[in-house]
Homo-oligomer: A and B are copies of this chain.
């Protein structure tokens, strides 16, 4: 009895069920009572590493509720933040024995991230990184930190896409740039040696790239790692409610990150799977490993993508870290959980990428 056969009738039923649910949302919400939950105080969990405890104990991120409304405003914010981030990168590159060099690929800006030592089994492999930041933040070198982690901890060559962001370009500019680099990678490395990864908006872009590649008839990469993907820009996903003000990074769906994504979306339909990939058809997508945390505002939108991938018969592996908020599994290379998260991604890529 194979999985596809077993699940097929269920999925067929689910499609009907979900359609019905979508149509009757208004009616349902007026008839089913919401749940009032009183105020509470959450202690810092003591079942994570001391390093992660400090990250979890940090106050809500300053600026979480800044609501800028133009690409120009966001670029000013992004540039200021980027200047701070890049100051931390030389020490990180040194700790992880990684070199970063700017380049362009068919007109798209990239950073080539190379570890000092690439083991024989990784020498033909190429990872593409699409950074996060709500489609507005982490321009230039400041977007390379996750690529440095992956290159340094996993020992791969990584190309990090410095995709255009507002006001330079709006939807689908970021996706177009990522696709340009993807198509180049297909030629230079070959699909079976390529994986794509990214977190938050980068996790969404990873999924959007796959849906776009299907539209274009391009081959799929060997594997993907959408980290805690910002997979639904409509206010759908239960953890937008349950983890509001619990997640100390994104804090609220009504906060800064959503405002940024709205500027990128630029009036486009938010239910378009190229903006909200949870609504895409997942059939034919490559094997995927998804990472998130229990306090995460995007917990629901990660597990929903996981379930949709599983319903489509994809080998999709879900990793949920205890007590962590938005993307904290990739905040600091000196935290044990960061090593653990990237070891999982590396093991998954090793399982699926050709050597």
Residues of chain A having any CB pair with chain B under 8 Å? 1-3, 6-7, 10, 13-14, 17-18, 20-22, 24-25, 28-29, 32-51, 53-54, 56-57, 59, 119, 121-122, 154-155, 236-239, 241-246, 248, 294-295, 299-300, 303-304, 306-307, 310-311, 317-323, 336, 339-340, 343-344, 346-347, 350
Closest to A45 in B: B238
Which of A306, A310, A320, A339 has the largest number of chain B CB atoms within 10 A? A320
A33 to B242, CA, bound (A): 21
Give the residues in chain B near A29, CB-CB below 8 Å: 43-44, 46
Known: A39-B39, A44-B34, A245-B37. A238 touches B295 (CB 8 A): yes
Closest to A320 in B: B303
Closest to A36 in B: B41
| Inter-chain contact B336/A307, CB cutoff 8 Å | no
Give the residues in chain B near A310, CB-CB below 8 Å: 319, 344
A164 to B67, CA, bound (A): 59
Give the residues in chain B near A343, CB-CB below 8 Å: 3, 6-7, 10
Known: A6-B346, A304-B322, A346-B1. A47 touches B244 (CB 8 A): no
Choose among B10, B48, B336 the residue that contacts A339 (Cβ–Cβ < 8 A): B10
Choose among B6, B238, B320, B339 the residue that contacts A13 (Cβ–Cβ < 8 A): B339
Q: Shortest distance in angstroms between A189's beta carbon and chain B's nearest beta carbon?
A: 18
Q: Shortest distance in angstroms between A64's beta carbon and chain B's nearest beta carbon?
A: 13
Choose among B6, B14, B41, B242 the residue that contacts A49 (Cβ–Cβ < 8 A): B14
Known: A46-B236, A50-B20. A322 touches B307 (CB 8 A): yes
Choose among B7, B121, B304 the residue that contacts A340 (Cβ–Cβ < 8 A): B7
| Inter-chain contact B1/A121, CB cutoff 8 Å | yes
Give the residues in chain B near A245, CB-CB below 8 Å: 37-38, 40
| Inter-chain contact A35/B41, CB cutoff 8 Å | yes
Closest to A24 in B: B50
Known: A44-B32, A294-B242. A300 touches B322 (CB 8 A): yes
- Apart from A1-B350, A17-B50, what 13 extra A-B contacts exist at CB < 8 Å? A7-B343, A28-B50, A29-B44, A32-B54, A34-B42, A35-B44, A37-B40, A38-B245, A40-B244, A43-B241, A47-B236, A242-B295, A318-B318
Give the residues in chain B near A3, CB-CB below 8 Å: 343-344, 346-347, 350
| Inter-chain contact B34/A46, CB cutoff 8 Å | no
| Inter-chain contact A21/B121, CB cutoff 8 Å | no
Give the residues in chain B near A59, CB-CB below 8 Å: 33
Give the residues in chain B near A243, CB-CB below 8 Å: 242
Choose among B1, B34, B347 the residue that contacts A122 (Cβ–Cβ < 8 A): B1
Give the residues in chain B near A40, CB-CB below 8 Å: 36-37, 241, 244-245
| Inter-chain contact B317/A317, CB cutoff 8 Å | yes
**Closest 8 CB pairs between A and B?**
A3-B347, A32-B57, A238-B323, A45-B238, A32-B44, A303-B320, A10-B339, A35-B42
